[in-house]
Amino acid sequence: MRSFEGAIDADLHPMVPGLDALRPHLEPFWADSIDQRGLEGFESQSYPPHAPRTVRADWRPQGRFPGLPEMQAWLDKTGAAIGILNPIYGVQLIFNADMNRAFTQGLNNWVRAEWLERDARLRASIVLPNETEHAVAEIERLAPDRRFVQAMRLVMGEIPHGRRTHWPIYAALEKHGLPLCLHAGSAYRHPVTSLGWVSWYMEDVAAQQQAFQSAVASLITEGVFVQFPGLRVVLAESGVSWLPAFLWRMSKGWKGVRFEIPWQAEPPAETVRRHIRLTAQPFDAPDEAAAQLLGHLGSQDLLLWASDFPHWNYDGLPSLPPGVDREKFLRGNAAALYNRFERVPA
Partner 1 sequence: MNMMLANAKPAAATLGLCDVDIHPRAPSRDAFDPWLSAEMRHRMHSYGLRPRHGYVRGTPFPKSQPLASRRDAWTPQGGSPASDLGFFREQHLDHYGIDVGLLNPLQPSGQGDTNDGFSAAMAHAVNEWQLAEWVVPEPRLRASIVVPYEDPEASAREIRKRAGDPRFSQVLLMSRTSMPLGNPRYWPIYEAAQEAGLPVGIHAFGYSGWAMTNGGWPSFYIEEVSEHATSCQSLLISMVVEGVFERFPRLKIVLIECGMAWLPSVAWRLDKIYPSLRCEVPHLKRKPSEYIRDHVWVSTQPIEEPERPEHLRDTMEWIGWDKILYASDYPHWDFDDPRLSIPNWLPAETRAAIYGGNARAVYGW
Q: How far is C-alpha 65 from the geometric centre of its chain's CA atoms?
A: 20
Cα separation values, 327 from 110, 128, 318, Å: 33, 31, 16
- State the burial class of residue 117 (Cβ atoms within 10 Å of its Cβ: 0-12, 13-18, 19+): exposed
- According to CB under 8 A, which residues from 299 to 328 bind partner 1? 312-313
Rule CB under 8 A: say whether 195 interacts with partner 1. yes
Decide: 168 and 136 in contact? Cβ < 8 Å: yes
CA distance 217 to 162: 8
Query: Least distance from C-beta 122 to partner 1, angstroms?
Result: 26
Q: Which stretch binds partner 1 (CB under 8 A): 137-145, 226-234, 285-293, 336-344?
A: 285-293
Length of the chain: 346
Q: Which stretch binds partner 1 (CB under 8 A): 5-13, 39-47, 171-179, 281-289?
A: 281-289
Decide: 15 and 50 in contact? Cβ < 8 Å: no
Rule CB under 8 A: say whether 217 interacts with partner 1. yes
- According to CB under 8 A, which residues from 235 to 264 bind partner 1? 239, 241-242, 244-246, 248-261
- According to CB under 8 A, which residues from 17 to 56 bind partner 1? 51-53
- According to CB under 8 A, which residues from 147 to 176 bind partner 1? 155-163
Beta bridge partners of 122: 83
Q: Which of 194, 316, 342, 346 binds partner 1 (CB under 8 A)?
A: 194
- According to CB under 8 A, which residues from 93 to 152 bind partner 1? none
Decide: 122 and 156 in contact? Cβ < 8 Å: no
- Select 101 or 161, whichever has its Cβ closest to partner 1: 161
CA distance 235 to 298: 17
Q: Which of 210, 227, 300, 339 binds partner 1 (CB under 8 A)?
A: 210
Q: Which of 26, 180, 181, 207 binds partner 1 (CB under 8 A)?
A: 207
- Select 106 or 237, whichever has its Cβ closest to partner 1: 237
Rule CB under 8 A: say whether 287 interacts with partner 1. no
Query: Least distance from C-beta 218 to partner 1, angstroms?
Result: 6
H or E segment to which residue 154 belongs: strand 148-156
Rule CB under 8 A: say whether 227 interacts with partner 1. no
Q: Which stretch binds partner 1 (CB under 8 A): 39-47, 144-152, 198-206, 227-235?
A: 198-206
CA distance 217 to 233: 13
Decide: 75 and 121 in contact? Cβ < 8 Å: yes
CA distance 44 to 208: 14
- Select 312 or 341, whichever has its Cβ closest to partner 1: 312
Query: Least distance from C-beta 329 to partner 1, angstroms?
Result: 18
**How many residues line the site for partner 1 (CB under 8 A)?**
73
Rule CB under 8 A: say whether 63 interacts with partner 1. no
CA distance 148 to 173: 12
Residues 6+ apart with CB under 8 A from 335: 8, 341
- Select 21 or 205, whichever has its Cβ closest to partner 1: 205
